[in-house]
Amino acid sequence: MNREWEFQEKGSSKNPRLLLKTTLTALFAALIAAGAFIAIPIGPVPIVLQNLFAVLSGIILGPLMGGAAVGLYLLAGLLGFPVFAGGSGGIARFAGPTGGYLAGYLLAAVVSGLIAGEPASGKPASGKPSAGKPRSAAGVSFLRINAAVISGFLVIYVPGILWLNISGKLGWARALAAGFVPFVIGDILKGIGAVLIAPRLKKTASDFFNGNR
């Protein structure tokens, strides 16, 4: 009887946690999609807020949930929902000049999440948090948050510029001029904003996961 009660208690405690994780994953997928509607067309690749929310999803939710949020967003676009820049969707966008950047969003969420860690209180037995391990906002140093933000933004450019060069046959110089240089200042500003808000949001996520709210 006691074992049955213990089993039911554990099961009931996991369900709200699973529901919370699912809700937050869907929320960040929606935020990434919303970022596509705030776009400044300056060439083949517009300035958008999708990369900001992709990086924040990894930092706040961790590499698995953050990656799942971006994956859900990409799946919605693949199925034709108008969640990409300019209110478009469909598989053709993955073959277009922005296809590499879309893949980069997923990479950014995973990389930034591995650096910042998952949103949970407590530390490993060693007492020193390591990449991808549960880490509350109090356990994340300012330098680590900066590293997560910078790495997250930069890693998007790797597949982005690579595919822009291949799909457009631009050459590396023109691909960098079209797909990197125009976005540096904007990404720096977005990065500063991410550094300022990520610790508080990460702490809020940790509090929710640990029943402190």
Residues 6+ apart with CB under 8 A from 185: none
Rounded CA-CA distance 48/138 in Å is 30
Q: At residue 40, what are phi and psi to the nearest 5 degrees?
A: -115, 105
Instruction: Identify the weakest region by mean pLDDT among 8-12, 108-112, 170-174.
Output: 8-12
Domain chopping of the chain, boundaries: 25-209
Highest mean pLDDT: which range of 31-45, 146-160, 194-208 = 146-160
Give the global pTM.
0.81
* pLDDT tens-place string over residues 41-92: 766 666 789 999 999 999 999 999 999 999 999 999 999 999 988 788 899 9
* pLDDT tens-place string over residues 121-160: 444 434 444 445 545 455 568 899 999 999 999 999 999 9
Tell me the β-bridge partners of 88: 84
> CATH 3.30.70.20: does it fit domain 25-209?
no
List of long-range contacts for 94-100, beta carbons under 8 Å, 24+ apart: 95/167, 96/167, 97/44, 97/45, 97/163, 97/164, 97/167, 97/168, 97/179, 98/44, 98/45, 98/160, 99/163, 99/167, 100/159, 100/160, 100/161, 100/162, 100/163, 100/164, 100/167
DSSP code for 121 = S
